């Protein structure tokens, strides 16, 4: 046998379908133990009172005992484990009682008038202080809201001014871009035309130089031929000069020989005449 405290409503609600109701009833008022959240206080002054439904609000789960059994269960919340004899079967009826919250009145011990007045005054002062605080906070919030609106208005004006500046700057940049592209295009076109003229001029100069080079080549060839001719003439004149020199030498020798022969002849004649 093991004894435990149960929540009777849930306990009887669980076992109600398995038991049968009988005629004889023994009512037991359970005493709530601490810890289940539904304690029953012994002091009757602190009990909850109901209006007009006192009989219904004090109903408790009823335990029906079989008439042919001599044993009656007197301890509420006791569950017997194990085998149960047929003559000792207990049938339980579970009744759910619904009490509206408006019908429950809490009987609170009355306080003294001075304490009530002091508490009421303190509540009024606290309420007044809270009201003043709320008014002050509301004023501060209004001031901050106005400041925020002013700052928002200024920011919107600044935004519009910046948007206008950006629009104007965009237009100016677009025009400058067009002018820059046009100027760069004109400059590139001028440079291209100048380079084309220079190219044509260089082509003409190259052709002129080519013709001059051809003429110089021809002149060089002619000069080379003339040089060869003059070299051959020089060689021929040198040979002739050598021959003339040799002939002169031989003539001078013959002349000396002739003069010596003539001198000999003259001296021989003079000798002959003297003799």
Residue in 62, 75, 77, 72 with CA at minimum distance from that of residue 25: 62
Which residues are CB-contacts of 124 (< 8 A; sequence separation ≥ 6)? Answer: none
Per the model's pLDDT, the better-predicted residue between 160 and 183 turns out to be 160
In the chain, where do the E strands start and end?
Answer: 2-3, 25-27, 49-50, 62-65, 78-79, 90-93, 104-105
For residue 61, the 8-state DSSP code is: -
DSSP H/E element including 65: strand 62-65
pTM of this prediction exceeds 0.85: no
Which residues are CB-contacts of 41 (< 8 A; sequence separation ≥ 6)? Answer: 47
Distance from C-alpha of 127 to C-alpha of 118, rounded to nearest angstrom = 14
DSSP H/E element including 26: strand 25-27
Structural domain boundaries in the chain: 2-109
Per the model's pLDDT, the better-predicted residue between 97 and 70 turns out to be 97
- pLDDT value of residue 229: 93
The answer, yes or no, to whether residue 262 has pLDDT greater than 50, is yes
- Find tokens 């009988």 and name the residue: 22
Distance from C-alpha of 216 to C-alpha of 225, rounded to nearest angstrom = 14
Q: What is the pLDDT of residues 151-177, one digit of tens each?
A: 999 999 999 999 999 999 999 999 988
- pLDDT value of residue 18: 46
The answer, yes or no, to whether residue 222 has pLDDT greater than 90, is yes
Q: What is the pLDDT of residues 92-111, one digit of tens each?
A: 666 777 767 666 665 555 55
- pLDDT value of residue 89: 60
The answer, yes or no, to whether residue 137 has pLDDT greater than 80, is yes
Distance from C-alpha of 248 to C-alpha of 145, rounded to nearest angstrom = 142
Which residues are CB-contacts of 179 (< 8 A; sequence separation ≥ 6)? Answer: none
Which residues are CB-contacts of 90 (< 8 A; sequence separation ≥ 6)? Answer: 19, 63, 64, 65, 66, 73
Of 39-43, 120-124, 194-198, 247-251, the least confident: 39-43
């Amino acid at each position: 046998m093991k004894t435990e405290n149960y929540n009777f409503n849930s306990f009887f609600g669980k076992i109600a379908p398995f038991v049968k109701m009988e005629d004889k009833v023994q009512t037991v008022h359970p005493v709530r133990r601490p810890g289940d959240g539904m304690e029953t206080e012994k002091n009757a002054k602190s009990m909850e009172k109901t209006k007009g439904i006192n009989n219904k609000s004090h109903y408790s789960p009823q335990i029906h005992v079989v008439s042919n059994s001599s044993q009656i269960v007197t301890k509420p919340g006791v569950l017997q484990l194990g085998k149960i004899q047929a003559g000792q079967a207990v049938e339980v009826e579970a009744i759910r009682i619904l009490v509206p919250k408006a019908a429950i009145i809490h009987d609170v011990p009355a306080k003294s008038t001075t304490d009530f007045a002091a508490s009421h005054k303190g509540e009024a002062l606290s309420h007044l202080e809270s009201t003043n605080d709320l008014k002050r906070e509301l004023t501060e919030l209004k001031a901050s809201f106005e400041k925020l609106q002013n700052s928002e208005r200024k920011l919107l004006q600044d935004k519009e001014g910046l948007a206008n500046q950006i629009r104007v700057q965009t237009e100016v940049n677009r025009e400058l871009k067009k002018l820059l592209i046009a100027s760069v295009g004109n400059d590139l076109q001028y440079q291209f035309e100048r380079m084309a003229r220079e190219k044509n001029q260089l082509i003409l100069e190259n052709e002129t130089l080519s013709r001059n080079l051809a003429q110089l080549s021809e002149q060089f060839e002619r000069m080379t031929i003339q040089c060869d001719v003059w070299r051959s003439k020089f060689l021929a004149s040198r040979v002739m000069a050598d021959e003339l020199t040799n002939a002169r030498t031989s003539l001078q020798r013959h002349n000396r020989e002739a003069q010596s022969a003539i001198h000999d002849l003259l001296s021989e004649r003079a000798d002959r005449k003297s003799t």
